[in-house]
Structures are given as C-alpha cells and as structure tokens.
Amino acid sequence: MANVVLEVKDLTTKYITRFREDVYAVDHVSLKVEEGKSLGIAGESGCGKSTLALSLMGYYFPPLYYTSGEIIIDGKVISGMKPDDVRKSVLGTEIAYIPQAAMNALNPTRKIINFIEDVILAHDPTENKKFIYDLARASFEILGLPPEVLQKYPVELSGGMKQRTVIAVSVILRPKVLIADEPSSALDVTSQKMVIKMLRSLMDTGFIKAMIFITHELPLLYNVTDDIMVMYAGQIVEQAAAREAVFDPLHPYSKGLMGSIIVPEAGLRDVKLAAIPGVPPNLKKPPAGCRFAERCKYVRAECKVTAVPLYAVGNGRAYRCILAEQVLREAYAHGQ
C-alpha cells in the first residue's frame, strides 16, 4: 500500500457568527490522499469546499475555529498546533495553499525574486541571496516558466503568468501537500489550461507529493485529479475515482451536479441537462436527517428522520444515501 501523505480524521471546524451562532461548515470530514495522488473537491458555492481547504492547513483565524478531529501530514499531526508553530513549521514546507485570487495578493512594488527570498528566509534566515536565486531559477526552469520572470514586477506579467508564478513560489520549498482552491477560475481558458498543465506536472517533477484541487468546474476536476469528493452542506456525500464520480455518480446530489456539465463535445448532445431545484440548507440549523432531502427527487419519508452515514461500497468508493446502489442506478435509468 502506498504511503499516505495526508490523512484527515473526523475533522470538524466551525465559524462563529457575529451573533454567537456556530456554523459547522466542515462537519466530520475524513479523507486520505496517497503519495502521487490528487483529490478533487466538488460542490456548489456555499457547501464548505473553501472552508475545508482553509481547515486543512491547520492555520485557523477568526471567525474560523477548530473543533475536533485530526490532520496528519506524513505521520505528523498538525491539528491542534499553535498558529505560530503552524506558520513556522507547516506552511510552505508541509502544506501550501493557493487561493483563487492569489495573483492579486502580490505586492506590486516588489519583484518576483523578492517574494521567493521572503519565503525561503522565513524558514532559513541564513541562506544567501545567490543560493536563493539559483534555486529559484532552477525551479522555474523545471516548471517551464521563463527565468526572466524573477526580475519582473507583478504588473509586468499577464494574469495567467502571475498565477503560475504564485504557484511556483508556493511550491519552492517542496511542500508535501498542495491545496489549490479555484486556482484558475478567474482566468481565460487559455491561461487556465496553462495553469492546469503546470499543476499536473508538479507531482511528476517532485515538487509536491499530493494535491487537493477544489473547483466547481467539474470538467476541470475530472481532468486534473485521480479521485473526486463531492461535498454538500459541510459533509462529504460521495467519494469515488474521477471517472466513476463523473459518469456513474451514486448520490442524487452528485448526479445533479454531473448533469450540469457542459462541454463542447459530441457526447454532450445525448445528455439532457439536469437542474437541481432549490438552495442548500442553512448550516446554522442543518436538517436532522439527510441534508439533501429537501431538494432530492428520490426523497423518502425516512430520509428526513435520522442522519445518514457514509456507506463504503469498496474500491475507495463511498456515498451518503439510504437508498441502495442498485435502487439508485435503476432510478437514474428511468429518470432519463
């Protein structure tokens, strides 16, 4: 069995609102990512994807609070550490995070090489500039970025180039896990493709050991990650290999999501777009039973009574629905 790089056990984190209400945006989430694998997280906006990404870093700041569970990176437990320790010994070296608007976070008055110096000196203040420059140059060359970029200011770079530069800077310390939260959704399709290509090459070139990729664009997820995890209302509702998740989803919510995929391919003409009516539940008072029950086409009376556990069905596959695999497949076959 391959080495597990990132393991999360029953992680729960919450937001505390202005009115002192708890909102459990990540609710008992468990996951494992093996070395060389990537995991995609899908879901509507507001279902907890981005909160999960923030929570995985082990670095919490208000209004987000850690409640329970464990995050283990390569055997090292990082959950429950002090924020300062996390910043010093986890961020950048164990885990790196790229938010959606990362490219806009670059200080326009500094050159790219200065950011790299900051990152490296923060972890080892004794390094000299020449060494850093050589390291940066070598890394950029491996990642297919022109080394001239190092001497440029952020404003001199295009959006796509900036985003790729940010990714290169975040992985320069070779973190074990990279968490990318919608890294390409603000870009045009061509830049997006370049970012994706770069992300896919990170593991082959040994910069990272595992990746978590978050987006609502399912075709992207399908093309980037090995496994896909579907989140709904703070919970995992389905876990499966990418191909299975897209073409053979089990949970009715995943089924709905996959039904909204639009691609310019001949296969699309045979599919009827499916829409999920309604909106996700308010997490201040989540429903007692299945959280998707309100919007589900196949809802039964017992769905709304008790919380539904995540059923494992082998091959690393799991889904959170009281209906049996066979029942769901038949229902989908009739539904179309």
The minimum distance between CB 277 and another protein, in angstroms, equals 7
Per-residue contact string for residues 214-243; x = within reach of another protein by CB under 8 A? --xxxxx-xx--------------------
Residue 297 burial (CB count, 10 A): 13
How far apart CA 42 and CA 39 sit, in angstroms, is: 10
CB of 141 to another protein, least distance (A): 18
Q: Which of 249, 204, 7 is nearest to 221 (CA)?
A: 249
Closest approach of another protein to the CB of residue 197, in Å: 5
- Residue 250 is given by DSSP the state -
Cβ-proximal residues to 311 (8 Å cutoff; 6+ apart), any chain: 318, 319, 320, 321
Using the rule CB under 8 A, which residue among 87, 193, 226, 331 binds another protein? 193
Length of the chain (residues) = 336
> Which of 328, 325, 315 lies closest to 240 in space, CA to CA?
315
How far is C-alpha 80 from the chain's CA centre?
21
Nearer to another protein, 168 or 257 (CB): 257
Contacts of 143 (CB under 8 A, 6+ apart): 164, 167, 168, 198, 201, 202, 205, 207
- Out of 130, 264, 315, 336, the only residue in the binding site for another protein (CB under 8 A) is 264
One of 38, 55, 165, 192 touching another protein (CB under 8 A) = 192
The answer to whether 268 contacts another protein (rule: CB under 8 A) is yes
- 281 lines the binding site for another protein (CB under 8 A): no
63 lines the binding site for another protein (CB under 8 A): no
Among 109, 128, 190, 336, binds another protein (CB under 8 A): 190
Between 62 and 267, name the residue whose CB sits nearer to another protein: 267
Non-local (6+) Cβ contacts of 89 within 8 A are none
Verify binding: residue 35, another protein, rule CB under 8 A: no
Residue number, 113 or 276, with CB nearest to another protein: 276
Amino acid at 224: V
Which position among 267, 314, 326, 336 is part of the footprint of another protein (CB under 8 A)?
267
Judged by beta carbon, residue 71 or residue 196, the one nearer another protein is: 196
User: 297: which DSSP letter?
Assistant: T
Q: Which of 135, 261, 322, 331 binds another protein (CB under 8 A)?
A: 261
Q: Please report where in the chains the tokens 């090995």 appear, as a residue.
A: 226
Q: Is the peptide bond before 63 cis (omega within 30 degrees of 0)?
A: yes
Pairing of strands 235-241, 227-232: antiparallel
Task: Supply the minimum distance, in Å, between the C-beta of residue 185 and another protein.
Answer: 11
Segment near another protein (CB under 8 A), from 66-74, 109-117, 171-179, 212-220? 212-220
* Interface residues toward another protein, by CB under 8 A: 44-45, 188-190, 192-194, 196-197, 200, 216-220, 222-223, 246, 256-257, 259-269, 273-277, 279
